[in-house]
Structure 1
């Protein structure tokens, strides 16, 4: 298998929306839940499968959380050329935070790649 580092041509991630949703369940030490909506677009010439993801959440209060795992929201979506995969999920934080991440996948021809997720902020309403 070959590896391509950086964004694979024609595959991109869009951050559609980030919302503070205070009525979602959250632990007492991280009382601020944020929902985010993501779309993975495949405008390449071949099908791709998203195999894993990695998130790094850095809170201004000092804590850094790294979340890694297989797939996306319990799935390993295959995205055909010209198609997209959309989902939403959430993070809970104790303070304002910055979020970075990437999805890791493989093309039908076996090329492994990663595609960055646009950085975004979780700003606790004042």
Structure 2
């Protein structure tokens, strides 16, 4: 598990290898990630959007950005958390993801970014 705290918001990430898919005569490697967003601040906040940089071992980078997470824009009061699971496909059995969430504080109405720590994706059969 990797964790990062930004402005009182803790991001925790666990990853899993889900399997290999054959697509267009090539292999794709499926990974899932489980993220918990915990509000350790004194303000209520809302996650409004996300930005991801997904890299594989073949030097391919994919940028993903959009509203909320899995169709939701969770509001977190102090002490609350939101957990979700998503996934990605890579062209290699190794890679990494990093990014940030855009959030807004209900107390100050200020927008801020919460860093998502870089986490590694690796298929267990390829690890020595």
TM normalised by structure 2 equals: 0.84
8 A Cα contact 1:7 1:113, kept in partner: no
| Aligned residue pairs, count | 117
1:68-122 deviations in whole A, cap 9, x for unaligned? 0000110000011110000100011011112111111101020111111121111
Match of 1:46, SS state, is coil
Which residue does the alignment assign to 1:55? Answer: 52
Unaligned runs of 5+ in 1: 1-5
1:77 aligns with 2:64: no
Among candidates 18, 25, 34, match of residue 15 of structure 2: 18
Match of 2:28 in 1: 31
**Alpha-carbon offset, residue 30 of structure 1:** 5.7
**CA separation of 1:30/1:43 partners in 2, compared to 1, >3 Å: closer, same or farther?**
farther
Which stretches of structure 1, 4 residues or longer, exceed 3 Å deviation after superposition?
Answer: none
CA distance in 2 between partners of 1:74 and 1:100 (Å): 20
Equivalent residue, structure 1, for 2:113: 114
Partner of 1:123: 122
The higher relative CO (CA closer than 8 Å, separation ≥ 6) is in: 1
Against the structure 1 CA distance between its residues 104 and 30, is the aligned structure 2 distance closer, same or farther, given a 3 Å change threshold?
farther
1:41 — aligned with what? Answer: 38
Match of 2:102 among 101, 104, 112: 104
CA RMSD of aligned residues (A): 1.7
| TM-score calculated relative to the size of structure 1 | 0.86
The answer for unaligned runs of 5 or more in structure 2 is: none
